[in-house]
Structure 1
């Protein structure tokens, strides 16, 4: 058996799962090897899950419930720590999962309000313009986008740094009412302590960013994957060279952005324009 590692169950939902796995195992008088044999996993796998070095699977959690005689306790902890991604198009599933995992998200969009910040009415108009899309597909995508926004209301939401081109505030998506409500939502989100929204002004030297929107996901200070908008479908990329290039590009764009307070002033002025 490896060295005992103390886990604080209050640190995170994942830590809670690891803590409860070890607590239940010890209460049953079982070694890591013994519980591993009961549920069909190696002793090293049990040890890595208990020390947060490896994420369990949903099947792992269900088998733990069976082995310990628990009524869905470990499964519930698993779903809290690793919730299933929302129903989104196949090409977007990897990124939707990373949004749930990331501790920091860096977003840039030169054309639209970022998806995590969109209202239902604004998002619907965007989806309705997709060639050949059905009403059922539109409803499913709306549901997926609204479910993605739940990450903003978690007890431990990620830090979000969002850069938005000034033209987005004035580009009509639907009626003035849709735009007004969308920008009012943006103002409200900007008041949250873990969300920073900065407007990149007209005439800025951020032309490199006009090539397309992208997002960067980080865990505890390390950028590990990016999402790049391309036509006809975006891509999730974990190539280190691409990540470094986009981090540099993001910093260049942010260097041209207004401060948060001035950005909010610009958004509020745009709200009044749409009345």
Structure 2
């Protein structure tokens, strides 16, 4: 939801180095279409928790990372978006092996989506969703505040220098 085209392409290419140019282009376009909800009319509330490695690993090179961090800082100022960073100091956590998305559907039911590097699964059983929600709450508690997260993003951007 927050990746720039350059970062999305680099991540997708690293995840499937044998994919064709057309396959990568199709996947990048699909990934970027998800952002329509973020910036569209009447957007839902978004809350992102990013691992510090997403700020520090030089995916796509210094210039791409500066652009990506700038996008994060800009989007983080939008009223319906909250971005927090889970710092290395938090050590191990429940989502180290992938990502967790909680979605509140129009009828107010909540589903969870867990995604690893090669697969994902939708979780609809409310008992299992409740467990995922509790894990997410723990991550939020371990993460930096939005203000401190923005400061870390700024520091990370400075770490990538003034790439041209």
Say yes or no: TM over 0.5: yes
CA RMSD of aligned residues (A): 1.7
Which structure's CA Rg is the greater one?
1
| Cα distance in 2, alignment partners of residues 160 and 230 from structure 1 | 21
| Equivalent residues, number | 160
**Matched position secondary structure for 1:216:** strand
Distance 2:63 2:107 in 1: 39
1:146 equivalent to 2:39? Answer: no
Q: Determine if contact 1:206/1:253 at 8 Å carries over to the other structure.
A: no
Structure 2: state its 5+ residue gaps.
Answer: none
Structure 1 residues 147-205: Cα deviation after superposition (integer angstroms, max 9, x where no partner): 11111111211100111111221112121001110011000000100000011112215
Which residue in 1 is equivalent to 2:13? 128
Please say if residues 97 and 116 of structure 2, whose CA atoms lie closer than 8 Å, have aligned partners that are also in contact: no
Distance in 1 separating the partners of 2:99 and 2:117: 11
Q: Which has the higher strand share?
A: 2
1:237 deviates by: 2.1
Check conservation: 1:206, 1:256, Cα contact below 8 A.
no
Change in 2 beyond 3 A, CA 1:221/1:196: farther
**8 Å contact kept, 1:216–1:223:** no
Cα distance, 1:211 vs structure 2: 3.1
Q: How does 1:1-16 map to 2 (within 5 A)?
A: none
Q: Is residue 245 from structure 1 mapped to residue 134 from structure 2 by the alignment? A: no
After superposing on structure 2, the runs of 4+ consecutive aligned residues of structure 1 that deviate more than 3 Å are: 219-223
Cross-structure match for 1:173: 59
1:265 aligned residue: 151
Write the mapping of 1:74-153 to structure 2, written as runs, cut at 5 A: 116-129=1-14, 130-153=16-39
**What SS does the aligned partner of 2:33 have?**
helix
TM-score (norm 1): 0.55
Q: 1:223 to 1:271 in 2, by over 3 A?
A: farther
| Cα distance in structure 1, aligned partners of 2:125 and 2:13 | 33
Deviation by residue 1:6-36 (Cα, 9 ceiling, x = unmatched): xxxxxxxxxxxxxxxxxxxxxxxxxxxxxxx
Q: Measure, in 2, the Cα distance between the counterparts of 1:224 and 1:261.
A: 28
Asked if residue 256 in structure 1 is aligned to residue 147 in structure 2, the reply is: no
Which structure shows the bigger proportion of residues in helix conformation? 1
Q: Closer, same or farther in 2 for the Cα pair 1:173/1:205, shift >3 Å?
A: closer
- TM-score normalized by the length of structure 2: 0.90
Seen in structure 2, the aligned counterparts of structure 1 residues 205 and 128 have a Cα distance that, compared at 3 Å, is: closer
Look up the match of 1:274: 160
